[in-house]
A = this chain, B = another copy of it.
Amino acid sequence: MKNKTTIHDIAKALSIDASTVSRALNNSPRVNQKTKDRILSKANELGYQRNLLASNLRKNKTNTIGVIVPRISRHFFSSVISGIEEAAYDAGYNVIICQSLEQLKRERDIVGTLLANRVAGVLLSVSMETNDYDHLLNMKNNGTPFLFFDRHCDIEGISSVLIDDVQGGFDATEHLILNGCKNIGHFSGPQKLSIYKNRLAGYIKALEKYKIPYRPELVLRSSLMEIDGTEGAKTLLSLPHKIDGLFSANDIAAIGAMKYFKNEGIRIPDEIAIVGFSNEPISEVIDPSLTTIDQPGFQIGQISTKLLLEEINKSSNLKKANKTILKSSLIERDSSRK
């Protein structure tokens, strides 16, 4: 029952040559409109279904771009994906989405499969485990254009689209300070990832600006799970100086902390003010008065895609590594009900 209609079948049915059919199907200007019409209607009649495998093989290129994210369920990434899809769709490209689940092994496998499928290019945000770049260097040598977004590696000639995390961390911390906080905790993440390193740097920079001593025991590393937030909150509360502010570099941990604080009967933000760094809508929902640092996911997706498409279409190898840095914005929500 499998569809077997090929251009030859429809050529035979019309007593013409397959090459003409091919041209017609690709809407080549060098074919008579009448024959085009006949071909199209016959193709329809026979239930012809173009075989992209063959076409792509012959042309030695595809119009598919691969996207690798740690997890599609994270709001930031799914908003980036929306941006990617929109930009890709406009340019006539398909998108195939893959998740590394924060595992290096899976990231490697995925890169392999994408290359084997001859994708036109790849957009990726590396996993937390990615400290070995062989698979990426391999992709580079292979000649497949790719681009990092949000989480990147330093590889010569490879561009990135990033957020100004130092500034974001600074803004978050400054906001807490200006609201009277003096003992500010910080939930960070793996320092291998520059986003967490940079947010921490912003945190420290703000403390310095306001002459608040930096106390390392207030900085906790998490691995982006809710449990890290609850555990972290507990740890912070056990310190001699009680904290009055918390800057979390990711929302999931912030949520864990909020739950813990609430369970302990600690009022937010009166007793402990919190700023979360992410755009999970969840943080807005948990407490509508919560201030967050918003990341422009959709925009990142669009920009990354446009840059990637430029590289794909650029036959010249003059590509210079660009870093596009976007700004996040501090969003202070309505707190009139407080």
Within 8 Å CB of A317, what residues of B?
1
Which partner residue on chain B sits nearest A57 by CB separation? B53
With both beta carbons as reference points, the residue of chain B lying nearest to A67 in the complex is identified as B97
Distance, CA A85 to CA B1, complexed state (A):
28
B50, B82, B142, B262: the one contacting A116 at CB < 8 Å is: B50
A223 proximity list for chain B (CB < 8 A): none
- Size bracket, chain A contacts: 35 or more
- Do B85 and A78 have beta carbons less than 8 Å apart? no
The reply to whether the CB of A318 lies closer than 8 angstroms to some CB of chain B is no
**Shortest CB distance A141–B (Å):** 7
The answer on a CB contact under 8 Å between A141 and B47 is yes
Does chain B have a CB within 8 A of A35? no
Interface presence of A235 (CB below 8 A): no
A99: Cβ under 8 A from any B Cβ: yes
User: In angstroms, how far is the closest chain B Cβ from the Cβ of A166?
Assistant: 28
- Proximity string of chain A (67-99) to chain B, C-beta cutoff 8 Å, 1 when within and 0 when not: 000001101001101100100000000111111
Decide if A263 is an interface residue (CB 8 Å cutoff): yes
Contacting residue for A337 out of B62, B263, B337, CB 8 A? B263
The contact of A141 among B1, B115, B262, by CB within 8 Å, is B1
CA distance A249 to B73 in the complex (A): 21
Is A286 on the interface with B (CB-CB < 8 A)? Answer: yes
Q: Is A118 close to B, CB under 8 A?
A: yes
A288 within 8 A of B: yes
**Binary contact readout A299-334 vs B (1 if CB under 8 angstroms, 0 otherwise):** 000000000000000000100000000000000000
**Given contact pairs A79-B73, A85-B99, A113 touches B94 in the complex (Cβ within 8 A):** yes
A2 CB to nearest B CB, Å:
4
Q: Are A118 and B47 in contact (CB under 8 A)?
A: no
Cβ of A54 under 8 Å from chain B: yes
Q: Given contacts A1-B141, A143-B2, are A72 and B51 in contact (CB under 8 A)?
A: no
For residues 89 through 128 of chain A, which have their beta carbon under 8 Å from a beta carbon of chain B?
94-99, 113, 115-118
A52-B259 contact in complex given A2-B143, A96-B96, C-beta closer than 8 Å: no
Q: Is A41 an interface residue (CB 8 A)?
A: no
Docked-complex contact A143 and B1, CB < 8 angstroms: yes
> In the complex, what's the smallest C-beta–C-beta distance from A265 to chain B, in angstroms?
9
- A78–B1 Cα gap in the complex (Å)? 33
Interface residues in chain A, defined as those with a beta carbon under 8 Å from any beta carbon in chain B: 1-3, 47, 49-54, 56-57, 62, 72-73, 75, 78-79, 81-82, 85, 94-99, 113, 115-118, 138, 141-143, 255, 259, 262-263, 281-282, 285-286, 288, 317, 337
Beyond contacts A50-B116, A97-B98: 10 other A-B pairs, Cβ-Cβ < 8 A, are A3-B143, A47-B138, A47-B142, A53-B62, A53-B117, A78-B78, A97-B97, A259-B285, A262-B288, A286-B286
